[in-house]
Amino acid sequence: MNIILKLSPLFIATVTAIGANAQAADNSTREGFVEGSSLKLNARNYYMNRNRQQRTDDNIEWGQSFTGIFESGYTRGPVGFGLDANAMLGQKLDGGGGTDGSTILPVGDGNGKAPGSFSTGGGTLKMRALGTELKAGDLFLNNPVIAGQTRLLSQTFRGVSLTNHSFDGWLLEGGQASFTKLYNQSGHRRIGTSYGTLTGGDESQHLNWAGVAWSGVSGLTSSLYAAELKDIWNQYYYDLDYTYVVNELVSLNPGLHFYHTQDTGDALLGDIDNNTYSLHFTLGVGHHSLTAAYQRVSGNTPFDYINQGSIPLDNSQQYSDFNGPNERSWKLKYGYDFSSVGLPGLTSAVSYSRGTLDLSKVDPDSRGYANFYNADGKNAKHWERDIDLKYVVQGGKAKDLAVDLQWATNRGGNGYGVLGTDTDEYRMIVDYPINVF
């Protein structure tokens, strides 16, 4: 992908051009390998129940995980070196006969029962100089073109990344990842996609990315990213978000997210020419917020992204992303912070989303997306209702312990059934983070 090859030297040139001032600033913040180190633990309890309305094989799983993340500081000197490490353990509490497959635990061995436990670990070598950080190994990534989700465990990527913060208000980054460790498995695999179907042992060998994010004006942020999933797609992303504070009580927040995805190389998933965007406007009044969002998928394939990844589209909800072929969707969301009634740490959100798709235009011979075709799905429809209630302990020995209750209801019709059955999904997530040092 040409744009990646052109941007990477730009990052290197930018880093070398920063000069002595950046080096002095970098040295002033370097704490030392031991002095700057930290160890964080998190105990997570996760229950998920997917109640399939037209099927008898509901997905019900419950697990407990423990995650430890060690991050060293950097050695002193013009060039600093460091080491990060992580260890994760997931244990099944429930996931009996025929109820596996909720994505909390590894997929069962054919008897409908998930394994009793699974674990993983990894390390990362890192180097910092002139405001630039280079990492190689197992990475926790979070940007619009490659971002890992968390269920019981976290998704990681194996590769290299480069980030630069030398310019005030700017972030420049790039990298390459060849493997991913999914959030419900122990081992690594090649990076796949969430909605495309690869056949015949086809795999993409790596994902390249480069991007720049800017936050130089108070309340205004913007970013531009490009990525190549080798032999599958080139993907480009742009966003713009602005928060205007009218007064101490009222704020306004308009925003835009835009993706363009185009097949590349051997086109292992077939032809892709997809533009997807979402617009949102949020009105904040005291402890209340009201958001209206509109999302549009222009293309005869769904808007696709990496397997188990996350995306910043406004209508990506708990159960559905509202990203089907030729889909138009809108959302209304209301949020409330209970600190105004003497309950700090308690927040809630309720939303309703509705989408219309045209599945009749999907190529029935598509290499990767033929399963979306439905001759009767010209006006396929679905809606989703989401409720979220979360409490974070504000003080004491249990400080930062968080309990999150989530409920989603998704219903479809007019041919939408080809994408999935009507579903009620319940989640209960309890996190207890501990900063050891």
| Predicted pLDDT of residue 210 | 98
| Predicted pLDDT of residue 418 | 61
| Predicted pLDDT of residue 419 | 61
| Predicted pLDDT of residue 360 | 95
**Rg of the chain over all Cα atoms, to the nearest angstrom:** 23
Tell me the CB-side half-sphere exposure of residue 426, using CA atoms within 13 A: 7
Phi-psi category of residue 50: left, alpha or beta, with phi > 0 → left and psi -120 to 50 → alpha: beta
Average pLDDT, the chain: 90
Domain locations along the chain: 2-435
| Predicted pLDDT of residue 194 | 95
Residues in the chain predicted with pLDDT less than 70, given as ranges, are 1-30, 55-56, 96-98, 108-112, 418-420
Main-chain phi, psi angles of 359, to 5 degrees = -85, -10
pTM: 0.90
| Predicted pLDDT of residue 96 | 67
Amino acid at 145: V
In words, the CATH class of domain 2-435 is mainly beta
| Predicted pLDDT of residue 239 | 98
| Predicted pLDDT of residue 421 | 77
| Predicted pLDDT of residue 110 | 63
What's the rounded Cα separation, in Å, for the pair 282 and 251? 8
